A and B are shown apart, each in its own frame.
Chain A
Amino acid sequence: GAVVSQHPSRVICKSGTSVKIECRSLDFQATTMFWYRQFPKQSLMLMATSNEGSKATYEQGVEKDKFLINHASLTLSTLTVTSAHPEDSSFYICSARSGGDNEIFGPGTRLTVL
């Protein structure tokens, strides 16, 4: 079946540094990828939608200059958290859709900013 991977699975960084998270669709082409954030004991909140070859669409309240999204190919989207701060510590999950109904979710990336 369709699989989505994320790398890294967990990352710890110092405040002020930038962190890049990769999301890959392994055996299908994803025209659309989604990035979610999940704080402890809370549900998933959509951050942005990225379509291959075009700019991402950000949800209200999400800073596009802080969370840079690149969807350069049909199998890869990246999320870069720039100048990370402790409040950015969260579980980041991506998903991919190939044009049908289903979103296939990645395993998530745990970001801890010290």
Chain B
Amino acid sequence: KQEVTQIPAALSVPEGENLVLNCSFTDSAIYNLQWFRQDPGKGLTSLLLIQSSQREQTSGRLNASLDKSSGRSTLYIAASQPGDSATYLCAVSGGATNKLIFGTGTLLAVQP
């Protein structure tokens, strides 16, 4: 059974810092991995999607990497801003139904 874990559970950084969020998964037979952002009481916004054959994806100040064999992904946020404060979720899909399995999330607070 696929399990997805995110470390740290919470992170507080001063504005301008670069930071890394970690995601690990137990079954490497995934179809893709996604990083989402969730603001309090809101739905999910997809940030980056990495196909299983890819190593990384970039969008603006965000860079996500994927090491499928070791079951790990990282989300790198450059020059963090207070507006980046949110919960970041990673999710993997795989298997016959391609269902998304979500991690536990990292609550990020960027202090002005």
Contacts and interface: CB of A to CB of B under 8 A. Distances in A.
Interface stretch (A61-69, A80-88, A105-113): A105-113
Contacts of B103: 43
Interface of B is mostly: strand
B43 A108 contact: yes
Contacts of A43: 89, 102-105
Interface of B: 31-32, 36, 41-46, 49, 51, 89, 91, 93, 97, 99-105
B41 A91 contact: yes
Given A43-B89, A108-B41, A103 B100 contact: yes
Interface residues of A, number: 21
A101 interface: yes
A57 B103 CA distance: 22
A93 B49 contact: no
Which of the listed residues B42, B43, B45 has the most CB atoms from chain A within 10 Å of its own CB?
B43
A42 interface: yes
Nearest to B91: A44
Contact of A105 (B41, B43, B93, B105): B43
A102 B49 contact: yes
B44 A105 contact: yes
Given A46-B99, A93-B43, A101-B93, 18 more contacts: A6-B43, A42-B104, A43-B102, A43-B103, A44-B44, A44-B89, A44-B102, A45-B102, A46-B101, A49-B97, A101-B31, A101-B32, A101-B49, A102-B46, A104-B46, A105-B36, A105-B45, A107-B42
A42 B47 CA distance: 20
B73 to A, nearest CB: 15
Interface in A25-53: 34, 42-46, 49
B32 A107 contact: no
Contacts of A49: 97, 99
Nearest to B99: A46
A91 B45 CA distance: 16
A104 B100 CA distance: 12
Which of the listed residues A45, A105, A110 has the most CB atoms from chain B within 10 Å of its own CB?
A105
A64 B105 CA distance: 28
